[in-house]
Structures are given as structure tokens and as C-alpha cells.
Structure 1
Amino acid sequence: MKLYFSPLACSLATRIALYEAGAEASYVEVDLKTNRTEEGADFRAIHPLGLVPALEIEGGEILAENAAVLQLVAERFPEAELAPRDPLGRARLQQWLCFIGTELHKAIYLPLLDEAAPAEVKAYALARADARLGWVARRLEGREFLLDRFSVADAYLFTVLNWSQVTPVDLKTWPALAAYHARLLARPSVARAFAEERARYVRELGRHAKGAPAAAGHATA
């Protein structure tokens, strides 16, 4: 498998899941501003929409969209127990993946991260944060993970909550969320993935400061 990613974008969740599963995979960084891979290839020839994550599997087939990619990783490595096996458990997992992707990633964080978004749009997105993040916080009170054990939904939620560091969203408003984020950051697979991508992100910022193209970490699937 080959994961096309951009540092600290939502593709970080897939890297976490792959590390958690102990999977063998290669990783190709994508500059989302130029749509070029680190080798200079045209990423739109790989995924026409130019979005990450994009996971290349057997036969060169490409799977996109975060929820789909994460569920495939969980399915490919059942011994890692990254997804429940029972029908209700799988439905709960899909519920969380859908919620994180639509109500948090797209509805709140994406407008706040978008430099081109009007102030009114940003204010509207931020106004929705309390109800949605508050709901997640209540779920996590007295719980270690979203489900009964660590799952791909936790990998995705950690990734999205991590964007609070560069937006007006303050996780301290919801102590259960702040504690959850800190707890997951101490998990070996998460710590490794975050450290590696943070280093790449810092280098990306350096290139951008020098006038070289830099990836827009929020332009993700």
C-alpha cells in the first residue's frame, strides 16, 4: 500500500491507523498548493480532485475519502482491532466517522483553516463548535475512547482536534476533549505519526517562508 498525504492534514489519521496495525506501507508527501508529489509527479493524475488521503492498493487502484480509507485499513488488518466486528459496533463506528467528517472537519475546522473564507463564514463555523464539540465531550466523559477500544474513529478525531492549535477553537473549554487529545498523543502510534508529520510540516512552513510552494494542510478529503 502507498499513502499519499500532506503533513498534519486529515491523512494523518490513516498514517496513525497503519502504524497502529503494524502495516507495511510507503508514504508520499503531496504539496496541495501545486498538486505535485515530493518526486514532482502530478498528483491530479493520481487523484483528479487533488485531495488527500489517497491510498494506492493492489493493481494501482486508488481509494480516496478518509472514512473509506480508514475502514479499509481496519478491514485489512483485523488483528489490530481498529473496528468493531459486530453489526451494531460497525454502525457506531460509521456514525462517528460520518460525524467527525461532516460536523467537525467540514463544518467547523475547514472554514476556520481556509484563508480565503470570509469573516462571516468563519464566525458561523465557530458558532457551531460549542454544540458539536460539547456533544463529543459528553460522550468522552469517563471514557478512554469513542468506542470500547481504540479505533480508526479515534485516529480521525485526534487529527481533527489537533487543528484547534491553529484555529480559535480552544479545547480547554471542554476538559474531556483536552484530556482525550493529550491521552491519545501519548499513544505510541499517534506520537510517532504526529512527530514525523510535524517535522515535515515545519519544513513545509520554511519553504513557504522562502517563497517556495507549501501545501495547504486543510485542503483534504
Structure 2
Amino acid sequence: MERWRVLEWLNFISSELHKGLGALFNPAITPEWKQAVLERVSQRLDLVNQALKGNAFLCGRHFTIADAYLFTIVNWTGFMHIDLAPWPELAAYQLRMAERPAVQQAMRAEGLLK
């Protein structure tokens, strides 16, 4: 069952979060379009926040590729100045993930950390 949950989350992250937040990188985005994207993404982040309640990772107690993907996409919120305060479980998750040695190593390699 866990395998299917991981696949479900990968699909959700790619279609609902990656696609939505990715649109905000478009320099031609209008204020109206940006607002619509943020409203839609906020609803999706509500679902992720709820799923993380009582769980260290998306699928429970174990780190999966879905967690790596989610961290990458949620990390974009910093570049876009999106405050994660409305999603405290997600904000705590992002901090936990950022503390992982392998994540820090990868972020240094990408030039995202000094």
C-alpha cells in the first residue's frame, strides 16, 4: 500500500504543486493570474499540511522520493516570497528536511547554500 501512496503523492506534487508554483516563474504573469494561481496552490498546500499532521514524512514514518520532490517544490516558496505560516505542519516539515545532511549537501552543490 505504501508504494501506491508514494505514487499518489508524486502525481499530486507534479500536477498540483509543481505545475501551479512553476507558473509563478513566468515573468509575463499578470497580477490577476498570479492571484488565481496562489489561491489554487493555497488549497493544495492545505491538503499537504493536513497530511503531515502527526507524520514526519508524507507517507508516515519513512522518507520517500515523494518527500524529496515535495521539499524541492516547497522550497520554491522562499524564492517567491510565499509565507508558509498558514501551513505550520508544512513549514516544520520544510525545516526538518532542510536539516538533513544529504539535503544540505545537494543544496550546496546547487549553489543554494554556502
Runs of at least 5 residues in structure 1 that lack an aligned partner in the other structure: 1-87, 203-221
What displacement does 1:91 show? 1.3
Separation in 2, partners of 1:158, 1:177:
9
Separation in 1, partners of 2:81, 2:37:
11
Q: What letter matches 1:134 in structure 2?
A: D
Separation in 1, partners of 2:44, 2:82:
12
Aligned to 1:85: none
1:104 pairs, out of 11, 17, 23, with 17
Aligned to 1:206: none
Are residue 92 (structure 1) and residue 5 (structure 2) matched?
yes
Are residue 178 (structure 1) and residue 91 (structure 2) matched?
yes
Separation in 1, partners of 2:2, 2:54:
19
Bigger relative contact order (CA 8 A; separation at least 6): 1
Q: Is the CA contact (8 Å cut-off) linking 1:105 and 1:160 kept in structure 2?
A: yes
Runs of at least 5 residues in structure 2 that lack an aligned partner in the other structure: none
Separation in 2, partners of 1:168, 1:193:
22
Give the 5 Å matches for 1:103-142: 103-107=16-20, 109-142=21-54
When the two structures are aligned, how many residues end up with a matched partner? Answer: 113
Are residue 158 (structure 1) and residue 67 (structure 2) matched?
no
TM-score normalized with structure 1 length: 0.48
What displacement does 1:120 show? 2.0
Aligned to 1:192: 105
Distance change in 2, residues 1:143/1:199 (3 Å): closer
Q: Please identify runs of 4+ aligned residues in structure 1 that moved more than 3 A.
A: none
What's the Cα RMSD here? 1.7
* Bigger-Rg structure (1/2): 1
* Local SS of the residue matching 2:29: coil
TM-score normalized with structure 2 length: 0.90
Q: What letter matches 2:92 in structure 1?
A: A
Greater fraction helix:
2
Separation in 1, partners of 2:81, 2:35:
10
Distance change in 2, residues 1:134/1:199 (3 Å): closer
Query: Residues 158-214 of structure 1: CA distance to partner in whole angstroms, max 9, x if unpaired?
Result: 0000000121421122111110000001111111101221259x9xxxxxxxxxxxx
Calculate percent identity across the aligned residue pairs: 42
